Amino acid sequence: MSDIGLFDIDRFAPYVGALLGLIAGLAGWRINIALARARALPAPRFGLPAAFAAAGIAAAALARTGFAPHGYALIAMAGIGSAILAFDLDHRRIPNEWSLATALLGLVDAVATGRGWQGLATGIGGAAFLWAFGAAYAWLRGREGLGLGDVKLVAGLGIWLGPVGLALCFMGASLVTVVVALGFLAFRRLADDPPFGPGLVAAMLLLLVGGFAPI
């Protein structure tokens, strides 16, 4: 009866994560409505599915980390990421407010884990690389392939992931973007290049929740 393993609080972590993730996702949805209204845009239609996705991601995050500060940071990022995904899918733009929130939360997490300067340098370098890639694409194709919203978002993702993680994120985002494009084509709704932001967010969250350690 004295075995402390009889009551392991970490077993409840996934359930707590799911609840907090759903709350974060719903909050992101409400903020998205306000951001869209401020830009004279209709409310994003994918807010509720994105909120449930945030709940699943948050549950997986706390299942891995337990009740650790990094786990709560991942829950907040799941809410932010779900909001970015919903807004970009509908309006093909990423609000500056979400990019800034991603960067600030990532910087807090990076400082807490002793890699603040590395994260900041990676964020700036990654954004510069993506901007150069987008400029080259626009010059070769005569049209914009990547928006400044993607560039600003990458600055935040680099802080979270580090250089190796950011490179993996780019590769994963490319695969996700192809899948998104095929989905749009299936419903005959792809009139232009698919948004890149959802792929970036999805790849980043999969890396972090999967236990990738920024290097």
Q: DSSP string covering 114-129, please?
A: T-HHHHHHHHHHHHHH
CB 152 within 8 A of CB 99: yes
Residue 130 domain-assigned (yes or no): yes
Are 197 and 135 contained in the same domain? yes
pLDDT for 113: 80
- Predicted TM-score of the model (pTM): 0.85
- Domain annotation covers residue 98: no
Q: Domain range for residue 31?
A: 9-91
159 and 214 fall within a common domain = yes
pLDDT at position 7 is 57
Please identify every stretch of the chain with a pLDDT value under 50, giving residue numbers as ranges: 1-4
8 A C-beta contact, residue 52 and residue 22? yes
Q: Are residues 70 and 120 in the same domain?
A: no
Query: Looking at the 3D structure of the chain, how many domains does it have?
Result: 2
Joined tokens for residue 162: 């580090």
Tokens of 169: 């994120």
Residues 69 and 163 in one domain: no
Residue 97 lies in a domain: no
Nearest-angstrom CA–CA distance, 130 and 147: 10
CA distance 207 to 24: 20
Which contacts of 67-70 are long-range, i.e. CB under 8 A and separated by 24 or more positions? 67/9, 67/10, 67/13, 67/16, 69/112, 70/109, 70/112, 70/113
What pLDDT is attached to residue 155? Answer: 86
CA distance 215 to 200: 18
pLDDT value of position 169: 92
pLDDT number for residue 1: 42
pLDDT value for 146: 57
Given 91, 126, 160, the domain boundary residue is 91
Q: Residue 152: its pLDDT value, please?
A: 83
